[in-house]
Amino acid sequence: MTTTATRPTTAPTTATTTRKRTLATQGSPAQRPTAAAHLTDEQVAELGRELDAIRDDVLASRGAGDAAYIRRVIKVQRTLELGGRATLLAGAFPPAWVLGTGMLSVAKILENMEIGHNVLHGQWDWMRDPDIHSTTWEWDFVTPAAAWKHTHNDLHHTWTNVVGKDRDVGYSILRMSEDQPWKPWNLGNPLYNALLAPVFEWGIAVYDLELDEYQAGRKSKAELRKDLKAVGRKVVRQFTKDYVATPGVALLTGSALPALAGTLTANAIRNVWAHAVIFCGHFPDGADTFTEDVIDGETRGDWYVRQMIGSANISGSPLMHLMTGNLSHQIEHHLFPDLPSNRYAEVAPKVREICERYGLPYTTGPLLTQVGSAWKKVFRLALPNRRRRGDVTGGAQAQGPARGPVPPFAADVA
C-alpha cells in the first residue's frame, strides 16, 4: 500500500524538503466519509487487516507466471508497433493506412496502460529485470516518467480525491467536485474536457509541470527551468519517433503524408482512450471526493476505505481489462497500486465481498455507462451547486464541512 509521498531525486519538486506522510496507528479521522460513517474504529481496523492479508497473499505468490505475462504483453506490444509503422510505409493505399494506424493505436494503448503505467508503479520491480523496472522505464507519453511518478504515484495515490490535496481532481482545469468553489469560467467545463481528451498526453505534461505551484511561490524558477528542459527533451524524442522518423522513411514509398496522418491519429486515439479510462475510474457517480478533515488522524484502514469509495471500476471482458491496463479494476489498483496488474481480476471478488460485508459501496458498471456518468458530472459541475434548504450561501456544499488541520508529516532532509 502506498502510504508515503516521497519524491524521487529526478522528479520535479515543490518544496525544499521531502515530506513523508504518517498514518495514525489507531483511532479515527476527525470525520469519516458519509459512506463509511457507520463503521466503528474496530471495524475499520479489521477491514484493514483483511485487505493487508489479501495483498500479502498476492505478494507471496508472485512468480514465473506473472513474469511471463508481462514479458508476453511487451512482446505483443512491440510487434504491433513495429508492424503498424511498417504498414504505414504503404499508407498511400487506404487499407494499409487503416491497418497500420489501427495496429499502432493498439500498441500505444498497451504501452501506456498495461505496460508503462504499471511498470512505473513498481509492479514488476520484484523481477529485478533492469529493462522492466520503475527506475529505468521511459514510456511513450510526452510527460517524462519521473514527473508523472511524482504527481501520480506520490501525490494522487496518497491523497486520492481529497480536494485541495489531490491535484488530479480536475487536473487544475476542470471542476469535478462540489467542494471546489464555483467560478464563472467553470461554465466551460464540457468544452475544456472535450478539448483535453484528444491531446490528453499534452495536458498531463503541462499539469505535471505544476505551474500553479510555481505561481504560488512553492516552486523555484530553477526547478521550473529544470522541468521544462526535461519535457523539452521528451517532446523531441516523441516528435522524432512519430513525426520525423516514420514519415521520413515513408518518403521512399510515397506515403509520407499518410504515415504522418497515421501517427497523429494513433496518438489521438490513444489519448481519447486513456482519458476515458481515467475519468471512468475517478469521476462517475458513486466515486466520492473528500474534504481534508477525513485525512486528519486517518489510519491504515481509513486509507483503504477512502481508496475504495473514491474509485470506480469498469465491468467487461478480459480484453477490456487488458486494454485499460487493468484500470478497469480501479478500486483494486488504488488499494494495491504495487501489485501486478494481471492479479487484480483475482482479488476483485474478495474486495467486493469485503465492501458488501462492511456496508460500503463498490461502484462498477459497463464502459459506456461509466463514461456517460463522468460526462454528466462534467456538465453538472459546470454550474453552481444547487441551493438547498438552510444553505444561505447558495451552494449545496459552498463552504464544505469544517476542515481539520493538515495531517501529521515527518519531514526528511532533501
Written as one string, the DSSP assignment of 208-259 is: HTTHHHHHTTSS-HHHHHHHHHHHHHHHHHHHIIIIIIHHHHHGGGT-HHHH
| Mean residue pLDDT across the chain | 89
Q: Which of 234, 38, 268, 261 is nearest to 142 (CA)?
A: 234
Per-residue model confidence (pLDDT) at position 26: 83
User: What is the mean predicted confidence (pLDDT) over 291-308?
Assistant: 94
| 11 vs 157 pLDDT, higher one | 157
User: pLDDT band for position 23 (50/70/90)?
Assistant: confident
Per-residue model confidence (pLDDT) at position 15: 34
183-231 pLDDT, tens digit per residue, is: 999 999 999 999 999 999 999 999 999 998 999 899 999 999 999 999 9
Report if residue 9 sits inside a domain: no
Q: Decide if pLDDT at 30 tops 50.
A: yes
Per-residue model confidence (pLDDT) at position 388: 58
241-271 pLDDT, tens digit per residue, is: 999 999 999 999 999 999 999 999 999 999 9
Q: Decide if pLDDT at 400 tops 70.
A: no
User: What is the mean predicted confidence (pLDDT) over 140-167?
Assistant: 94
Report if residue 160 sits inside a domain: yes
User: pLDDT band for position 28 (50/70/90)?
Assistant: confident
- Percent of all residues in the chain with a pLDDT value above 70, rounded to a whole number: 88
Report if residue 5 sits inside a domain: no
Report if residue 8 sits inside a domain: no
Q: Decide if pLDDT at 371 tops 60.
A: yes
- State the cell numbers at 181: 468553489
Q: Decide if pLDDT at 375 tops 90.
A: yes
- Percent of all residues in the chain with a pLDDT value above 90, rounded to a whole number: 84
User: pLDDT band for position 24 (50/70/90)?
Assistant: confident
How far apart (Å, rounded) are the C-alpha atoms in residues 344 and 195?
32
How far apart (Å, rounded) are the C-alpha atoms in residues 152 and 140?
16
93-148 pLDDT, tens digit per residue, is: 999 999 999 999 999 999 999 999 999 999 999 999 999 999 999 999 999 999 99
Per-residue model confidence (pLDDT) at position 141: 96
According to DSSP H, which parts of 240-366 are helical? 246-250, 256-282, 300-309, 318-323, 330-335, 344-357
Domain that holds residue 349: 18-412
Report if residue 2 sits inside a domain: no
Q: Which residues contact 26 (CB under 8 A, 6 or more apart)?
A: 41, 45, 299
Report if residue 13 sits inside a domain: no
For the chain, what is the domain count? 1
Per-residue model confidence (pLDDT) at position 34: 94
Report if residue 346 sits inside a domain: yes
Report if residue 10 sits inside a domain: no
Q: Which residues contact 113 (CB under 8 A, 6 or more apart)?
A: 273, 274, 277, 323, 324, 325, 327
Q: At what angle do helices 221-239 and 200-208 cross, to 10 degrees?
A: 160
CB-based burial label for 62 (10 Å; 0-12, 13-18, 19+): middle
Per-residue model confidence (pLDDT) at position 124: 98
Per-residue model confidence (pLDDT) at position 20: 56
User: What is the mean predicted confidence (pLDDT) over 306-321?
Assistant: 97
